[in-house]
Structure 1
């Protein structure tokens, strides 16, 4: 039996852990401006840079000051960014250009344009084989590019529309299949899909984060759910409750917290160390801020947002039109502890 003092101490420690988790807040707004839509962000933690896909360009911002560094320009419709461990090279998926864009991270100049499949979206670097994986939304396959030669070495068919990928660093790549509600595991050494598993209770999985040490994948889904998978076993292990209309996820290995950026205007913070994966905080952000990047060095979350004008009248060609983005309203929201 615990003593009274032991009970008080345990209660205090539990309160301290919860309080530590529940201190996220919006700490800054960085104005980017310009026009057009956006997609994924990527934090280069070591270089203190944030890469922001923004229409036909990728904005680059200094995360210590919030000031712009420059932009990679000359593309058609950017979706994702991946970085080479060499510290010198970056890769962009140009959806409307059906290409993987190679750029110099020092000068931000494009050094190569490599044809990919139709509408490449999610993109990641695989370190064991030193390849770049661009997941093509319309052709429902993945283009695998050798990073040294800039040559496509494989095109792997997928069972449906791919969304965000993650690499485990050991030769495996995982991707959400949005229209099938499954995760596909691909072997980078053989360039083949080796298995898949169903995300029961998860509709239209999009963003994905990874816990390398714990062998967990976190897929954000419609229906206010985050699917938690054991990627070593290849199975779903639970569902967490999150906000509505998510599109991106993040993970902090230090605190074992997972994040979901939600279009309703919230950031969900999920404690993955506890049974049932409880949501420990819901941070109010801005409506439409549904893409994010996480900086593991500073613990900051970066979200894309803008102000909106009226929604166009639906047509047969565009039955669900998006509202117009107001000129120069695009910004990055910074969430800190």
Structure 2
């Protein structure tokens, strides 16, 4: 039986040699009744749901009591999931095709397919601009998607390979790059990189997001 720890869960991978998906800051667990093939988990705080991907699809659970809500079919081995609650839309990377699939939060039905060359390794939703940003471990860019229309509006070229990204939802996106090791800030409204910092200069994510 898998246990997802929920208090601070935002998007965590399964720990090696363990059936549990967890975050270090979590304080409360909900048993999900399965332990096989868990690939990724994402918590939608606004709607009190947890999305858990596996080789069988994406299962949706109630974050408060652990009750099953439903399943999203035809998305296998997703490594990135994000929701846009104001738009009643969700986005999930398909681990087999690389496409980003858009689904309705109420029906859990897939309503659109957005081509992407490589499976996305991370996605975030920025409410200020209504943008979903996606990165992969291969491409040296950030794909920007109009969350309401479900269409690609641009790609921002990066000077290195993105390994992680985060946002406060204020129109600014922060990414950690490798080769060279640095942090860059993408202005989502202008769709361009507008600031850079060496990774060694930042002691924590808060140092970056406070800029």
* Same-fold call, TM cutoff 0.5: yes
Q: Which residue of 2 aligns with 1:58?
A: 58
Distance 2:90 2:38 in 1: 21
Residue 182 of structure 2: aligned partner? 182
Q: In structure 2, how many angstroms separate the alpha carbons of the residues matched to 1:137 and 1:150?
A: 22
Does the 8 A contact of 1:56 with 1:78 survive in 2? Answer: no
Superposition pairs of residues 44-55 of structure 1, within 5 angstroms: 44-55=44-55
SS at match of 1:106: coil
Shift of the alpha carbon at 1:114? 0.5
Once residues 84 and 180 of structure 1 are traced to their aligned partners in structure 2, the CA distance between those partners, rounded to angstroms, is: 32
- Report if aligned partners of 1:94, 1:119 keep a CA contact under 8 Å in 2: yes
Equivalent-residue separation in structure 1 for 2:120 and 2:187 (angstroms):
19
Counterparts in 2 of 1:238-257, with a 5 A limit? none
- Verify the 8 A CA contact 1:94 1:121 in the aligned structure 2: no
1:71 deviates by 1.7
CA distance in 2, matches of 1:230, 1:136: 21
Deviation at 1:178, TM superposition (A): 4.6
Q: Which position in structure 2 is the counterpart of 1:30?
A: 31
Determine the structure 2 residue equivalent to 1:230: 208
Shift of 1:184: 1.6
Deviation, 1:57, is 2.1
TM-score normalised by the chain length of structure 1: 0.50
**SS of aligned partner of 2:86:** coil
Match of 1:196 in 2: 196
Contact 1:117 1:142 in 2 (8 A): no
How many angstroms apart in 1 are the aligned matches of 2:151 and 2:143? 10
SS of the residue corresponding to residue 96 of structure 1 reads coil
Unaligned runs of 5+ in 2: 1-24
Q: SS of 1:200's equivalent?
A: helix
Contact 2:30–2:63 (CA under 8 A) maintained in structure 1: no
Distance 1:184 1:75, change over 3 A: same
Check conservation: 1:75, 1:97, Cα contact below 8 A.
Answer: no
Deviation at 1:133, TM superposition (A): 0.8
Alignment of 1:288-299 (within 5 A): none
For structure 1, the residue ranges without an aligned partner over 5 or more in a row are 1-23, 203-215, 219-227, 234-337
Give yes or no for contact 1:43–1:49 (8 Å, CA) kept in 2: yes
Q: Larger C-alpha radius of gyration, 1 or 2?
A: 1
Counterpart CA distance in 2 for 1:47 and 1:168 is 18
| 8 Å Cα contact 1:81/1:91 also seen in 2 | yes
Q: How many residues align?
A: 187
Instruction: Name the SS for the 1:102 alignment partner.
Output: strand
Instruction: Identify if the C-alpha distance between structure 1 residues 37 and 66 changes in structure 2 by more than 3 Å, giving closer, same or farther.
Output: closer
Q: How many angstroms apart in 2 are the aligned matches of 1:101 and 1:131? A: 15
Contact kept, 8 Å, 1:136 with 1:143, in 2: the verdict is: no
**Residue 85 of structure 1: how far off its partner (Å):** 3.3
Q: Is 2:87–2:148's contact at 8 Å kept on the other side of the alignment?
A: no
Mark the CA change 1:164 to 1:57 in structure 2 (over 3 Å): closer, same or farther: farther
Alignment partner, residue 96 of structure 1: 96
